[in-house]
A and B are shown apart, each in its own frame.
Chain A
Amino acid sequence: SAVISQKPSRDICQRGTSLTIQCQVDSQVTMMFWYRQQPGQSLTLIATANQGSEATYESGFVIDKFPISRPNLTFSTLTVSNMSPEDSSIYLCSVETGQETQYFGPGTRLLVL
């Protein structure tokens, strides 16, 4: 497995602002992902963070709203831009190690007022 940290762990933001979430892993990993988990719902994949190239976004998610950086094999950021109350959610970073298994960071709990 891998040790994953996320910052911030929680935040309360105003409508129209942006928040950048950081994800740090204790070892180099090829695959890093960003998920959203809204209350009472399952995990939804936002995008795959690719090292050295643009992220791969899932249907319904766009780069202008959720820009992602992946400068190296241990770090990634997700920005939630121009936030609205509908963006209130838990945002999770995950990494894939051997045997195609994914491990999750502790999550960032975001509330947009």
Chain B
Amino acid sequence: QKEVEQNSGPLSVPEGAIASLNCTYSDRGSQSFFWYRQYSGKSPELIMFIYSNGDKEDGRFTAQLNKASQYVSLLIRDSQPSDSATYLCAVRNFGGYQKVTFGIGTKLQVIP
């Protein structure tokens, strides 16, 4: 079982719609969760991080965390063509320094 699982996509949504990106993780001790955006040919760029159960909103982005279900998601409202990229979910375990494990990423395509 992969430690961090994402559907590689592509996920296609029309412009203006809500894009929902999902991620599951295997280690119940995981405490910190991150979403990165990676444009083709570029390096990953941090979008959001979340530590507590529930929702965290930042502009058009909302991260949702459910530790009981070991599930984290990213919602993008009013999707724009410029949001077309690969979105990487990353997870860090609890206790001291633990490495961050990345999912394979979901490719999002926003259709004008």
Q: Interface residues, chain A, CB within 8 Å of chain B?
A: 1, 31, 41-45, 48, 58, 92, 99-107
Contacts and interface: CB of A to CB of B under 8 A. Distances in A.
B38 to A, nearest CB: 9
Nearest to A97: B46
Nearest 3 Cβ contacts at the A-B interface = A104-B43, A43-B102, A42-B104
B45 A45 contact: no
Contacts of B100: 45, 102
Contact of B34 (A44, A92, A101, A106): A101
6 contacts: A41-B104, A42-B104, A43-B44, A58-B99, A100-B49, A102-B90
B103 A92 contact: no
Interface string B24-67: 00000000101000000011111001000000000000000000
A4 to B, nearest CB: 9
* Prevailing SS type, chain B contact patch: strand
A106 B45 CA distance: 10
Contact of A45 (B4, B44, B49, B99): B99
Nearest to A109: B41
A104 B43 CA distance: 6
Interface of B: 4, 32, 34, 42-46, 49, 88, 90, 92, 97, 99-100, 102-105
A103 B46 contact: yes
Contacts of A42: 4, 88, 102-105
Nearest to B44: A104
Nearest to A103: B46
Contacts of B34: 101-102
Given A44-B102, A100-B49, A102-B34, 16 more contacts: A1-B46, A42-B4, A42-B88, A42-B103, A42-B105, A43-B44, A45-B99, A92-B44, A99-B49, A101-B34, A102-B90, A102-B100, A104-B43, A106-B42, A107-B42, A107-B43
Contacts of A31: 97
